[in-house]
Structure 1
């Protein structure tokens, strides 16, 4: 009987995709399964076949084979055992894509420890919060970030900070290059922090090893990955899209994946896409916009057969640019770290019409509807709340949406105070709380406002005890980005005498958003 990877049409997805068929793609079963084995070890056949291609911002290429990663991960797993690491211990690592990154990621999961990837641009406050939340036994980083990492060590001396340099790679070589995994399918494998929620500290989403199986629905029908693809995902593997869709999913199928390391450069990305002969790419909407804005699309040859994007809608001008230079429709996929991908456009399915701007249709086995406030289903074209059937009831996605007559879904904005800018999801509360720590900020309200290049940018309304100025604005921006992340700061600051409040005394962000929308509408007249 054919496996799901052999089917490409939408009709076949509806006819054949089910849980039992997904399990046939793996060596493990519902009792015993290990992500490192499924993604790396079983594909390490001594051939030297490429597992990961890394395009470094400085122009260097790094190609890592399944064999190399498998041996290093096994040696690192033995090293962790020698350090006394127990099943369930957290191993955090703040590393750019590199051999140490993949060795740590997969080595920790083989032992039954839990891998916790952390964004390399976290500032001290953001790092300390996350380390304090997950309590890792070891925090692994590079020499450049070592002092920052040591600043997150608590009074008890935890976590132990380890520098992932050539010395560590040399040290682990004393151990065997094979390792017998110690996990069951339901054991925890990864703690994944979202890039922002309405909480001050984004809650870690906890994934078991069997999450890999469920993930394959998104891989097969959201990114369209199949054996034989040359895949690339420029998103950081510290976040859900880059880790699950850009790294684990393709590797589980034995597909060579690609990624970007260092400060993002759209021209460097296009150079890598050309050089590597990439046929399938999944990226954030902002990656496509930045490539368009570079004006260099005509300088490279592209080989795409499938494209997908996530994080936010793509504007019409960028979609036109994609059609002009890539000659393949860009397929949206919608989901969150918490619920996974639930709406897709089936890249590569010749019998599925991709409608520009649409979120597509449900992943096989998922049920979604758009509801009115009273719980009834909206009519086509009517905006309501996007709901997902999960666990015997309707779960709110906290997004607004609509459907059309053909059953396609369309995103109509966020239902909460999360801000999506250039593909990054940020918390208004977290930014506000950080800015309020500045001596000259008395009150602060943060919202997202429309921006042509980034979709949204962060705007802060500040009540200050001194006169607002360009110098103070830059000081507040630097203050925020140094404590959270390099992308997480207000690009626009407006100084106001007071902020609108709700009856409970909290900043009324909806009123701020409405005021901005009214100003934009008036300016357009």
Structure 2
């Protein structure tokens, strides 16, 4: 492959022996040689005469494919002409879901960069870890979110360029874009050139860097959408997941653009706004989490959703009652699915022909899965075990060989989930195999929450667990030993919660706090979290 000028990311890929098997045995999965995924996702629509087709809508604006193409090209020129950028640099994007986010995402890849997309809720501490871990040199930040990034201190970050996601004023990026050429010669990346780095929180508390090639971006567009959605250029996608999640990136950008469809982006996608968009703009495909589907079901009677044909749920397991209530209210079947940042998107799901209520589904095209014991041996039908997956994409942690060997065993991806497989091959979720808490679609590492709490002056010890909750799937619950136990009170709990929201991403804060005199521990001093879950 052709090396980038900045080869940091490629030099920290796991060696081939530590990577999972990649199986590309179908003609649809043959992406080889010179390849920049932006050509298929964006540029080809211009050369094929579809530049005037709608690409992105919001409640306030509309961009055609040509608008997106030209703005992306101008931003690529800003990177290469004005910002000291070289190919292979990692570029952070900090923004809510809006058209400028998408334009920047494409521009970075056009210029030969590697995208690191983040969520708006992340705070200075989390951003610093990401910037230092990936040695990020450039950042594009919506001016409304500049405060947390402005206080980041890193030797690696050289340029922070603000932009206006509302498109109502000129920030630094808009000024630099002015009069830039509207065409750009894309950097000649290869199929196995890195395109993006996605950070995922693990049980160690330090986020891991998952990496994906240009070909991986296109491969997932040949998998889940063709298996479950059957998209056409007439489809309009929308949903709630942030574009900083690979679930959101796939569902709201990659899949619609791969098939020449359009996307409707909502910066703060409440259930009410999702329903309004579906009703007013005739949305046909919606991606959101089970929590949102539950709320939407209670409101749907007030909206016209006759245009909606596909409903997708991921991020946490879909409760059977949510599926049944939605079907009873609308006649539509929610498509459940499981994916991971390591594998990039959904790998087990269903379609309307093979759906089985309550089951996550079957391995989709491009993937195979099995249930294994701790030694990697396949277990009998209906016996719970570890979920193992392999196929067209797989885990490639950067600079983390130990974690790579935990996730990839015997050339299979071990996701950390406990499933069972029935006699007909359907996969049924049982539990998480680690201390990851999945709440309202967000992955929250218990130990990461603990590390934040331990930074509070009044906290001596703490343990964090996820407890079942009908509304959110799981609740973040903290058991706290105070240095002065006489201070334990509801007001102290509220004070700690408010402090946490200012210190770390608010969605991670403990919604339940219990003050205890001591934490249950083993003789060697390890906290027995399972005792806190009972």
TM-score range for the pair, normalised by the shorter chain length: 0.7 to 0.9
SS in 2 for 1:334: strand
Distance 1:282 1:157, change over 3 A: closer
Which residue in the other structure is 2:72 paired with? 73
Q: Which residue of 2 is the match for residue 381 of structure 1?
A: 382
State the 4+ residue runs in structure 1 displaced beyond 6 angstroms. Answer: none
Match of 2:27 among 20, 24, 48: 20
Whole-Å separation in 2 of the counterparts to 1:64 and 1:504: 60
1:500 aligns with 2:520: yes
Contact 2:246–2:345, Cα closer than 8 Å, also in 1 = no
Shift of residue 395, structure 1, vs aligned partner: 3.6
Judge conservation of contact 1:224–1:347 (CA < 8 Å) in 2. Answer: no
Contact 1:91–1:115 under 8 Å retained in 2: yes
5+ residue gaps, structure 2, are: 1-23, 165-169, 392-407
* Correspondence for 1:482: 502
Partner of 2:202: 197
Counterpart of 1:300 (choices 295, 299, 303) is 303
Q: 1:468-519 deviations in whole A, cap 9, x for unaligned? A: 1111111211222222212111000001111112344232222322x2xxxx
Q: TM-score, normalised by structure 1?
A: 0.87
Query: Aligned to 2:153, what secondary structure does the other structure show?
Result: coil
Q: Is contact 1:447–1:458 with CA below 8 Å preserved after alignment?
A: yes
Distance 1:40 1:325 in 2: 37
What displacement does 1:62 show? 2.8
What's the CA shift for 1:228? 3.1
Question: Does the C-alpha gap of structure 1 residues 222 and 310 become closer, same or farther in structure 2, counting only changes over 3 Å?
Answer: farther
Distance 1:147 1:231 in 2: 31
Q: 2:234 is matched with which residue: 228, 233, 254? A: 228
Instruction: Give 2:118's aligned residue.
Output: 118
What pairs up with 1:258-407 in 2 under 5 angstroms? 258-262=264-268, 264-292=269-297, 295-302=298-305, 303-341=307-345, 343-348=347-352, 352-373=353-374, 375-389=376-390, 393-407=411-425
How far, CA to CA, are the matches of 1:492 and 1:337 in structure 2?
28
Instruction: Report the counterpart of residue 523 of structure 1 in structure 2.
Output: none
Q: CA deviation at 1:190?
A: 1.1
Aligned equivalents of 1:413, 1:36: Cα separation in 2: 37
SS state of the match for residue 93, structure 2? strand
Counterpart contact for 2:137–2:156, Cα < 8 Å: no
Cα offset, 1:321, TM superposition: 2.5
- Are 2:259 and 1:253 aligned? yes
Seen in structure 2, the aligned counterparts of structure 1 residues 120 and 341 have a Cα distance that, compared at 3 Å, is closer
1:135–1:159 contact (8 Å) kept in structure 2: no
SS of the residue aligned with 1:248? Answer: helix
Match of 2:427 in 1: 409
Residue number in structure 2 paired with 1:13? none
Structure 2 counterparts to residues 36-185 of structure 1, below 5 A: 36-44=38-46, 45=49, 47-54=51-58, 60-82=59-81, 83-154=83-154, 156=155, 158-165=157-164, 166-167=170-171, 168-182=173-187, 183-185=189-191
Say whether the 8 Å CA contact 2:131–2:156 is kept in structure 1.
no
TM-score, with length taken from structure 2? 0.85
Change (3 A) 1:343 1:37: closer
**Residue pair 1:441, 1:463 contacting (<8 A) in 2 also:** yes
The 1:87–1:455 alpha-carbon spacing in structure 2 relative to 1, beyond 3 Å, is same
SS of 2:351's equivalent in the other structure is coil
CA distance 1:353–1:147, shift in 2 (3 Å)? closer
1:73-97 deviations in whole A, cap 9, x for unaligned? Answer: 0011111111220001111110112
Aligned residues: 480
Query: Unmatched 5+ residue regions in structure 1?
Result: 1-16, 24-28, 55-59, 516-525
CA deviations on 1:361-407 (whole Å, 9 max, x unpaired) are 11234221122445443333322222224686344222111122221
CA distance in structure 2 between the partners assigned to 1:99 and 1:341 by the alignment: 22
SS of equivalent residue, structure 2 residue 367: coil
